[in-house]
């Protein structure tokens, strides 16, 4: 069985106590269209590096779970041919079969735990679906992963209020970065408050260390709104999501195909503006994650 592979520069950074930020691969292999997915990778990795941190894309490569992809592997995953979507439950079977897999938030957190990476950036977490009912494995993995997870809230296609309630039930700590609201992915506002707020990355690092000190088993979920210059109005997002959900019902879309289908439908309903928001928030989240990772190692 193939053991976890950590690319040498990333392994050296972890060993030396330098800042490392894990990045999800499913968002670029399944969540974003070609060639926007390539732009997303470039922007996320650059944003992390600008904060003097090491970016590390998580994935399963030919059956080997990995932290960090080579340039050739990045190209392969961006082309997405033969690359499956992998949640935490799928890791063992994919390792045994020797396939390529792009890791969701849930699977990425599993690999972060295995490698000792403390900071992870994504776009939006999975959560409770609106119709039909479904609940993402992301929520359970957040409850048992001692990782700082930076995102723009839950994906707008979800029942965000129900997702916030499940996070509370599972004991997942949530802090708003320069916001008092749980953001709505494409929109800054949802009308839902957050239990804590931090205006500086150092505060987030302090909160995370305090969690670790008392043995809290779960993640610190850091939510920040999408960049103001790119964000959509809350009403526009809701209308687009309703159109997407109606299309999914009519076409009988189910299971793992639901999220990519809805995201594509929302993109069409917003005439491509949701894609621009997605790219902007991925970059912003990676940048914040890099800053937090640096604070964790510098102020340790």
Residues annotated as catalytic are 24, 155
Are the beta carbons of 10 and 35 closer than 8 angstroms?
Answer: no
**What is the torsional sign of CA 160, 162, 163, 169?**
positive
Tokens of 169: 């039930």
* 205-238 b/e (C-beta count within 10 Å ≥ 16 → b): bebbeebeeeeeebbbbbbbbbeeebbbebeebe
- Please give the full DSSP string across 285-298, using - where no structure is assigned: HHHHHHHHHHHHHH
Give the Cα separation of 120 and 22 in Å (integer): 5
Residues whose CB falls within 8 Å of the CB of residue 128, separated by 6 or more in sequence, listed in order: 134, 135, 136, 139, 158, 159, 162, 163, 166
Tokens of 225: 């709104």
Tokens of 180: 């008092």
Tokens of 256: 């793992």
Tokens of 244: 């997407």
Residues in the chain: 300
Are the beta carbons of 241 and 164 closer than 8 angstroms?
Answer: no
Let me know if 63 is exposed, middle or buried by CB neighbors in 10 A (0-12, 13-18, 19+): middle
**What is the torsional sign of CA 43, 47, 52, 54?**
negative
Give the Cα separation of 289 and 53 in Å (integer): 9
């Amino acid at each position: 069985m193939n053991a976890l592979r950590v690319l040498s520069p990333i392994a050296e950074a972890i060993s030396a106590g330098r800042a490392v930020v894990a990045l999800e691969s499913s968002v670029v292999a399944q969540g974003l269209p070609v060639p926007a997915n390539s732009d997303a990778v470039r922007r996320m990795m650059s944003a992390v590096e600008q904060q003097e941190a090491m970016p590390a894309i998580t994935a399963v490569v030919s059956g080997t779970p990995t932290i960090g992809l080579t340039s050739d592997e990045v190209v392969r995953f961006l082309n997405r041919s033969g690359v499956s979507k992998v949640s935490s439950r799928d890791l063992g079977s994919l390792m045994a079969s020797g396939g390529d897999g792009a890791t969701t938030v849930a699977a990425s957190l599993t690999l972060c735990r295995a490698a000792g990476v403390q900071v992870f950036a994504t776009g939006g977490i999975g959560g409770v679906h609106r119709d039909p009912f479904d609940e993402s494995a992301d929520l359970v993995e957040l409850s048992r992963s001692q990782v700082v997870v930076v995102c723009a809230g839950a994906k707008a296609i979800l029942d965000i209020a129900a997702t916030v309630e499940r996070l509370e039930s599972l004991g997942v700590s949530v802090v708003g970065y320069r916001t008092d609201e749980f953001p709505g992915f494409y929109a800054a506002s949802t009308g839902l408050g957050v239990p804590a707020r931090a205006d500086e990355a150092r505060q987030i690092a302090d909160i995370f260390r305090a969690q670790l000190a008392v043995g809290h088993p779960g993640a610190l979920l850091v939510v920040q709104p999408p960049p103001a210059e790119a964000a959509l109005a809350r009403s526009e997002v809701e209308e687009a999501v309703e159109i997407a959900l109606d299309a999914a019902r009519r076409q009988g879309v189910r299971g793992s195909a639901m999220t990519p289908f809805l995201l594509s439908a929302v993109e069409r309903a917003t005439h491509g503006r949701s894609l621009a928001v997605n790219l902007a928030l991925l970059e912003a989240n990676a940048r914040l994650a890099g800053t937090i990772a640096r604070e964790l190692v510098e102020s340790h």
